[in-house]
A and B are shown apart, each in its own frame.
Chain A
């Protein structure tokens, strides 16, 4: 069965800390891995990764894919309270358009 596992399930840090969120996957066919941020409502898109070893960056957030290890990490530097959210990892299996989601990591950034 295809699955995506995220760790840790929850994380509490102080403003200014750097955090690393993990995502590992086991899927039949891999096309891409996506990261989403979910605050109170809908998940919003952060990154899509298709090539191993190439870092995607957006401000203080960055992500990299390791196809050999079937995993990805999402780094957030100099965290702010506005980074508090659930971060979701999803895998596009190719073939069909459906995404397989992990259960997410709940990040809480305290002032």
Chain B
């Protein structure tokens, strides 16, 4: 199993540009989570999906952030327009049962 696959690994973009982060969960996992990690705030849950349906998006910071899961094997997190304070490592994780969380390697986003 290749695990949770995220792309790109690194993204540097200018303020105001649109950024799209991608995630492929582990096959058979029915829940998918997007987290953001910063030194100041640690790991924060942005949104999670169960069976491709968004269940809780209360962690999405602003309308500039949106996430989709069009099918069981793919999800995107989009930031439009991006701002310097969005700079962080964004993790995707998937699970099929509580405690079976598997994290991807993350996307390090830098907005200049």
User: Which positions in A face B, CB cutoff 8 Å?
Assistant: 31-32, 34, 41-45, 48, 88, 90, 92, 96-104
**Interface residues of B, count at CB 8 A:** 23
> Given A31, A96, A103, which contacts B42 in the complex, CB threshold below 8 Å?
A103
Contact B31 A42 (CB under 8 A): no
Given A42-B105, A103-B42, A96-B55 contact (CB < 8 Å): yes
Contact A96 B56 (CB under 8 A): yes
> Given B41, B56, B99, which contacts A98 in the complex, CB threshold below 8 Å?
B56
Q: Which 6 A-B pairs have the closest CB atoms?
A: A103-B42, A42-B103, A101-B43, A48-B99, A41-B105, A98-B45
Chain B contacts for A101, CB-based, 8 A: 42-44
Given A97-B31, A98-B33, A43-B42 contact (CB < 8 Å): no
